Structure 1
Amino acid sequence: MNDFMQFLVERREQILTLVWEHSYISFLAVMGGFLIAVPLGIILTRTKTINRYVMGFVNILQTIPSLALLGFMIPLLGIGAVPAIFALFLYSLLPMVRNAYTGIKEVDPALVEAARGMGMTSLQILWKVELPMAISIIMGGFRTATIYTISWATLAAVIGGGGLGYFVFTGLGVANNNMLITGALATAMLAMIADFITRKIQGVCTPKGLRAKRAD
């Protein structure tokens, strides 16, 4: 235990640097995924012709082993943070696309028809009816993708992308338990913090009426 505490003290600057790298790699990947996935999920509710193909493609991305996907990125984007972020971005798409699609589709059709009867345009219905009713489910997908991405981001170190995976894989390679435990614990703590923050965001985004209904 004393050795571990001494390791934390001696490597504190490196630990903070790796935590920062891990955080921004994960953040950029998830935010990029969110900006693409939510509009895509909405579009899929409007058209049935491409629905099965897009969802099938996104599902296939999830079946590709993480290391294999990172390997595919090297010939295209080289090594470093950029290919790692792009690979994590692809992995983050499924839960957010699926939740955006599900959230919009589960809005009560009677509410949509009532809004249309009041003279609202399709865009107004989306912004004033569908998105407010679906936002909790959409943010649930964002929350899931964020937690998964933080755990997957440890693999970024394999292609020189930085992050806490450096401690994990280096610790495994040289049989240094202090490095391995530090990398694993720091990643778990980041995931817990992200879970707490995204849960709060999801709660704030959920309309009060739906919040009270779920509490019951």
Structure 2
Amino acid sequence: MIKVLLADDEAMIRAGVRAILATDPAIEVVAEAGDGRAAVEGVRAHRPDVALVDIRMPVLDGLAAAAEIRRTVPSTAVVMLTTFGEDEYVERALGDGAGGFLLKAGDPRELIAGVHAVAGGGAYLSPAVAKRVINRWADGRHHRDRAARDRIAGLTDRETQVLTLLGQGLSNAEIAGRLFLVEGTVKAYVSTLLTRLGVKNRVQAAVVAFQAGLVE
């Protein structure tokens, strides 16, 4: 069972999201919060697998709440849920360690897919957000290719394999299946990769894989 905390200052939005999540028997909403501070406290109290956090909330905004959650309860994955698709929000959220970014106006199936992806150790961007992020990566990519290749030059063959599959969006379980490893071993490889590449999360590691030419 995937345990979820839902944080949004609009009760009707929370009700709608909760109703969508309830259609999946593998997901359970264990707590709700109406502001960012309550979201952080709720995560500390309930230790959910995933926190769905709206960006604009009172007391403590969602971006600050997400950063605090990742700092104090790193076992909880954070997915930003918002009506805003501006690039600066996406970049800050992912830079602070969020594992996903979903638009409220997106397909409800994206919400279910996103929760499962980040709960499984992966990352998820709604297609609309992914397109914007990829376009920004592509802009000036030639300036970053060499730096990215230098960053991966010291990786072992196995670490490079794991990074390539991570860059393709595979979860730890899927990577383990591809490489005939146990999931715990893959998790250790991913942790090592984040440290060696100097990145905060899987999304940033995937950016490096993309810039280095490991994935298209």
Using the size of structure 1 for normalisation, the TM-score is 0.26
Highest RCO, 1 vs 2 (Cα 8 Å, sep ≥ 6): 1
Q: Hey, which of these two has a bigger chunk of helix by percent?
A: 1
Q: Hey, which of these two has a bigger chunk of strand by percent?
A: 2
- Larger Cα-atom Rg: 1
